[in-house]
Chain A
């Protein structure tokens, strides 16, 4: 079992729709959870972080965390073609030095 799992996609949504990206992790003591956006040929860009169960909203983005189910998700409302990218879920266990464990990423395509 991979430590962090994501559907690789591609996930295709029409412009204006809600895109839902999911991630599961295996280490129950993970403490910090991050979503990075990566455009083709570029480096990862941090867009959301979440540490407590529940929802965290920032503009069009909402991150959801359920530690009991070991599940993290990212919702993108009013999706735009500029949101087309690969979204990487990353998990951190501070007691193991703070290194990030990444999923393989989900490719999102927003069609105009």
Chain B
């Protein structure tokens, strides 16, 4: 299977703990995106990378959030000092570089902060 993969699929953590999620994009895709989705809402953009460069971060991404894509392949999203409001599905998507290239999503990581 050469689709987008994410790990872990589920994470339960206590408030105040740090968590890290991993995303492996489709191998030939240059761009990698992170989104967050809460119940009943569409996904909201968080940040994206073109190769290893982080080109944009949403204002939703507070100081507690950091994302990396060190070698232009997989990416990690870290949340420090988690809060209950961080509970959501974290989605990763990848695409080729281009005007109309479609984004394909991974299965997501569901985070529950207790």
CA distance in complex: A100, B58 (Å): 12
User: Least Cβ distance of A50 to chain B in Å?
Assistant: 10
State whether A98 and B105 are in contact (beta carbons under 8 Å apart), knowing that A51-B100, A104-B41, A105-B42 are contacts in the complex.
no
B82 at the interface (CB under 8 A from A): no
Question: Which of B13-21, B43-51, B62-70, B71-79 makes up part of the contact surface?
Answer: B43-51
CA distance in complex: A31, B99 (Å): 8
**Candidates B33, B41, B102, B104; contact of A99 at CB < 8 Å:** B33
Quick one: closest B residue to A48, CB to CB?
B102
A interface size (C-beta, 8 A): 26
Please tell me if the beta carbons of A49 and B43 are within 8 angstroms of each other in the complex: no
Please tell me if the beta carbons of A45 and B43 are within 8 angstroms of each other in the complex: no
Contact residues on B (Cβ < 8 Å of other chain), bracket: 20 to 34
Query: Can you list 25 contacts pairing A with B, beta carbon distance less than 8 Å?
Result: A8-B40, A31-B100, A32-B99, A34-B103, A42-B108, A43-B107, A43-B108, A44-B91, A44-B105, A46-B103, A51-B100, A94-B99, A97-B55, A97-B56, A98-B103, A99-B45, A99-B48, A100-B33, A100-B43, A100-B45, A100-B93, A101-B45, A104-B40, A104-B42, A105-B42
- Other than the known A42-B108, A43-B91, A88-B42, what 13 A-B pairs have Cβ atoms closer than 8 Å? A8-B40, A32-B99, A43-B106, A46-B102, A94-B99, A97-B48, A97-B55, A98-B103, A99-B45, A99-B56, A100-B45, A100-B93, A103-B42
Task: List residues of B whose CB falls within 8 A of some A CB.
Answer: 31, 33, 35, 40-45, 48, 55-56, 89, 91, 93, 95, 99-108
